[in-house]
Structure 1
């Protein structure tokens, strides 16, 4: 079977190609991809090329399919997996395989397993790690946004606090505590806000910072205060003392701090803002391998402050994320700001920082240029559809794209 796909050959060398997929083996699955979403990790991958720890040593001769946030339908099942999976089922993949002896992951390491393609082969590594997950949501884009949500789920579960009178830990956010998300209006930040407000462990006060009035206003519109959690959106762009401003906002320090910006100053300020037994999660992924920041080890010893870092979710996080989307607890559609066809993937991936906005959603079987969701002309058919949801992406919008847009 032929597939159209975007593959990485080296630093900033992304190519849209038509290639032939080999016949699947008994321990593999053939699948279509309907949607993928672009992660900043793919931008880092494209910039680093063969220097990335998850790419093959000879990337120029072993190009890989990029894309790791994908959703589609199963087409053909190898004999090993027949009875467990069936053609026609929707699926998602937890791309963070965590293989015991290899860094390989879909979208980073495989010639035929990646989200930016019309058809793919789900490698035996995906199958053997139990990372193929049936998905019962009513949209494909919802499935594509499970992977970033699973990262948030995993990150929140990694935070911990002492059980009073012991050195044993209770995992998760502190219920009824003060929570801070530093740089929290990007797509991951919005999911983090959503999960803090609607997950099982809710803070009493949630503060979200950013340096953009526009992004903060959009976040405030999407995620206002709830009866259980008071939310504050704070612009820190012009404050001479971020620590003092954020302490004043809630009247004290914070029990949970999520750092979404790989900045030395932000990490240091976050350390200063921790309450006793406070936990800081360094969620941001720096490109610099020598990223150091000062933290207060006096507080580590005497105030029991602690620090964690998470990179991706695991299979169980993905399954939890799927349930949150399937039952409507979390609204991942809020983070989609751009939509594009497979033809626009390479340029979009390489220019993510300049493009800005939230998630870039790809319809892999389609050929159309990237557009901004809230700038679709209101007189068009798609504009009329989006007006029904105040220009939030929707199932009706997705169905319209799948049914009417040009095939690639």
Structure 2
């Protein structure tokens, strides 16, 4: 079977090509990829090439398919897995394999498995580790976004608190507590707001900060104070750009106690230090943002570590259970991963969108691998609709969904855009 895929040959060398897939073995599964969202980790792999720890050294002659936030349909199942997977079922995938100590992962390391493709072969280790997941929802993009949502969920599970007088650690954010999310009006921050409002350990107060008013306005339109109040949460958005003493302002919102949980969504030294200064007793700071600077550091108050039991952790990625939680919550319409999506495009735009990811830093870029379409911001649909009635329709659909991508938009796109 032929597939069309974006493959990595070297640093900044991504090529969309058509080639033949081999017949699957009895322990492999053939799938049709429908959607794949672009991750910053894929950008890093494309920039670094073989210098990336997950990318093989011989990609110049054996290129790998990029992309790992994929979803689609199961097409053919090897005999070993016939009792677990059925052709026609939708799937999602957890790419963090850690198979027998190997760093190999779909989207980085495999010749025939990656998200930016029309058809790929799932190697046996994906199934052996329970990382190919059946998905019962309707929208493919939601299954693609289960992977970044699992990273968010993992951060909430990894936060912890202590019990005075014992050595017990209580895992998770404080239920009914005070939560601050710093630099959190970007895609991962929006997903985190959604999860915090609807998970089983809801805080009583959520304070979200950013320095870009446009991003805050969009966040406020998606997550209203009224919606938060319905689930017992006071939700406050703060533009910290012109506030002289940010920690003092934020602590005042807690009545002076400080926050139980603080998440930092940008690797910026002043933001990290703000997070430290607003921690309350036994407060946990989760440094979620991954820096590229290997010497990145910030000041942390160790007087408070000793006397106030403040502490910090960092999380990167989620595990399979986190991803399953994301899928189940999405299937039940408890969370809406579409809050992260700002751009949509076809496979022909995937390579350039990946290489230029940091130049267009808005939200998630969603690729539909069986169509050709320039990567387009959702808020550009209306303007493009003046020349192309298809974009006019997409604009109308988005406006009816708070400006968000949706199942209706996905169905319309797949029906009206084709490969060339």
Q: TM-score if structure 2 supplies the norm length?
A: 0.94
Sort the Cα spacing of 1:273 and 1:45 in 2 relative to 1 into closer, same or farther, 3 A.
same
Alignment of 1:10-89 (within 5 A): 10-89=10-89
8 Å CA contact 1:8, 1:65 repeated in 2: yes
CA distance in 1, matches of 2:100, 2:274: 36
1:386 match: secondary structure: helix
8 Å CA contact 2:222, 2:402 repeated in 1: no
Sort the Cα spacing of 1:308 and 1:135 in 2 relative to 1 into closer, same or farther, 3 A.
same
Larger mean CA deviation between 97-106 and 172-181 belongs to: 97-106
Q: Which digits, 9 at most, give the CA deviation of each residue in 1:209-265, with x for residues without a partner?
A: 111000001101111232211111111223333222222233331110111111222
Alignment of 1:7-406 (within 5 A): 7-225=7-225, 226-227=228-229, 228-252=232-256, 253-377=258-382, 380-406=392-418
CA distance in 1, matches of 2:178, 2:397: 39
TM-superposed CA distance for 1:63, in Å, is 1.8
CA distance in 1, matches of 2:414, 2:27: 31
CA distance in 2, matches of 1:241, 1:62: 54
Q: Size of the alignment, in residue pairs?
A: 408
8 Å CA contact 1:374, 1:392 repeated in 2: no
TM-superposed CA distance for 1:164, in Å, is 4.2
CA distance in 1, matches of 2:23, 2:126: 17
Larger mean CA deviation between 177-186 and 130-139 belongs to: 177-186
Q: Which digits, 9 at most, give the CA deviation of each residue in 1:334-367, with x for residues without a partner?
A: 2211110000001111112222321111110001
Larger mean CA deviation between 249-258 and 196-205 belongs to: 249-258
TM-superposed CA distance for 1:299, in Å, is 1.8
TM-superposed CA distance for 1:373, in Å, is 1.2
Q: Which digits, 9 at most, give the CA deviation of each residue in 1:68-99, with x for residues without a partner?
A: 11100011111111111111110000111133
8 Å CA contact 2:6, 2:117 repeated in 1: yes
Following TM superposition, the consecutive aligned residue runs of length 4 or more in structure 1 with deviations greater than 3 angstroms are: none
2:24 match: secondary structure: coil
Larger mean CA deviation between 181-190 and 40-49 belongs to: 40-49
Q: Can you give the 5+ residue segments of structure 1 that lack an aligned partner in the other structure?
A: none
Q: Which digits, 9 at most, give the CA deviation of each residue in 1:79-121, with x for residues without a partner?
A: 1111111111100001111334111111111111110000001
Larger mean CA deviation between 101-110 and 158-167 belongs to: 158-167
8 Å CA contact 2:150, 2:326 repeated in 1: yes
Q: Can you give the 5+ residue segments of structure 2 that lack an aligned partner in the other structure?
A: none
CA distance in 1, matches of 2:192, 2:85: 32
Larger mean CA deviation between 27-36 and 37-46 belongs to: 37-46
CA distance in 2, matches of 1:285, 1:217: 25
TM-superposed CA distance for 1:35, in Å, is 0.5
